[in-house]
Structure 1
Amino acid sequence: MAVAVVVLDHHQDLCTLRHHLAQRSTPLARLQSVGPGEIPFDQVEVLNPQLRQQRLQRTMAFWLAPFGFFAGVTFTVMTNLDTFAFAGAWGNRLIGGLLGLVAGLLGSFAARSDVDSSNEDRLRQLRNRSEEGFWLLVVESASGQDMPWKELQRVRPQAVVALS
């Protein structure tokens, strides 16, 4: 998948390009308009690494927390340790499971930092353009499909920035 962001001066150019790209025989994976009267810059995941980090952290927490709980219970049962003897046999297992759950949640926060930030300079430039009042069109091609570079140049954009 290739992602490109087209920077446009006029809203009419944005509408024209978006309509033209939507009418293609091979559809694109995503077309998102960003700017005044459109989607705000901070709500587009491709342009906001923090949104990607939050999504990754929630996904990882969804999987790691339950597995951590069951791993904690299993470890407590297998080793037959009485680390928390005051809680009894079942309480000891439950506390072990809760500690495993916490370890899973901590792992999800560690995975959150794994988001690639190689496009940071380009994203900063795009944010500045958006704050200056320009419109952005985020174009994502489908897997195995080439980016329609000639069509993106059709309305003479101010810039075309390739993100990946």
Structure 2
Amino acid sequence: MNYLVAVLADRIQAEAAYSALEQEGFPMEKVTILGKGYKTADEFGLIDPNEQALNQSKFLATWLIPFGFVAGFTFSYITGLNTFAWAGEIGNHVVGGFLGAIGGGMGSAFVGGAVGVAIGGGDALTYRNRLNAGKYIIVVQGSDTQTRRATNLLRSYEPENLQGYQAPES
């Protein structure tokens, strides 16, 4: 399945392009308008990069926090450091483990969150920002031939951006 995504400046342009696609015989269940008064990015299924970052952070935390505890405990045990004299010998190692777990939690938050925001959304973040700025997006789904026909038709409306995508084979 191929997708063609066109970003148009306003609602009038989007509706005119939608009508032109309808007149050209495109199956209207495969043509979608996103924007105020139409489908939202969430309804259409654009990935929310913040949600993606949270999921990535939680995933990393499930193994980095326990690993950090074990690493902190082991480091304290091997080096024989007496950093916290009030805790005693075993308590020192446990405190070292807790500090390692805190480090693992911070790593999952910073790395998982930053990577999730930076690469988790791909182009979806760009399209979400344009929708938030009041722009309208038309998405045409179809075969390679259909998306080429739609490209030629939509170019006459001078879209801000016109991008084709191919869905991964499942």
TM-score range, shorter chain: 0.5 to 0.7
- 1:151 and 2:146 equivalent? yes
Distance 1:3 1:69 in 2: 46
Cα pair distance change 1:160/1:82, threshold 3 Å: same
Q: Equivalences for 1:94-133 in 2 at 5 Å?
A: 94-111=94-111, 112-114=113-115, 115-116=118-119, 123=126, 127-129=129-131, 131-132=133-134
Change (3 A) 1:55 1:136: farther
Rounded to whole Å, the distance in 2 between the matches of 1:123 and 1:44 is 10
TM-score by length of 1: 0.57
Whether the 8 Å contact between 2:3 and 2:140 is mirrored in structure 1 is: yes
Structure 1's 68 and 5: CA in aligned 2 closer, same or farther, altered over 3 A? farther
RMSD: 4.4
SS in 1 for 2:162: strand
Aligned to 2:88: 88
Structure 1: stretches of 5+ with no match in the other structure: 22-31, 140-146
Give the superposition deviation at 1:20. 4.6
Flag the structure with larger Rg: 2
Larger helix share, 1 or 2: 2
Cα contact 1:130–1:136 (8 A) shared by 2: no
Shift of 1:92: 1.4
Amino acid at match of 2:126: L
- Trace 1:8-23 onto structure 2 (pairs within 5 A): 9-10=14-15, 19-20=29-30
Between the aligned residues of both structures, percent identity stands at 24
Pick the aligned partner of 1:134 from 115, 136, 153: 136
CA gap 1:138/1:61 in 2 versus in 1, 3 angstroms: farther
Partner of 2:11: none
| Alignment partners' CA distance in 2, 1:65 and 1:3 | 41
Alpha-carbon distance in structure 1 between the residues aligned to 2:28 and 2:67: 44
Inter-partner Cα distance in structure 2 for 1:91 and 1:40:
51
Change (3 A) 1:86 1:56: same
CA 1:60–1:163 in 2, change beyond 3 Å: closer, same or farther?
farther
Q: What pairs up with 1:26-105 in 2 under 5 angstroms?
A: 34-35=34-35, 36-40=37-41, 44-45=46-47, 48-105=48-105
Structure 2 segments unaligned to the other structure (5+ residues): 9-13
Give me the TM-score of the superposition, normalised by structure 2: 0.55
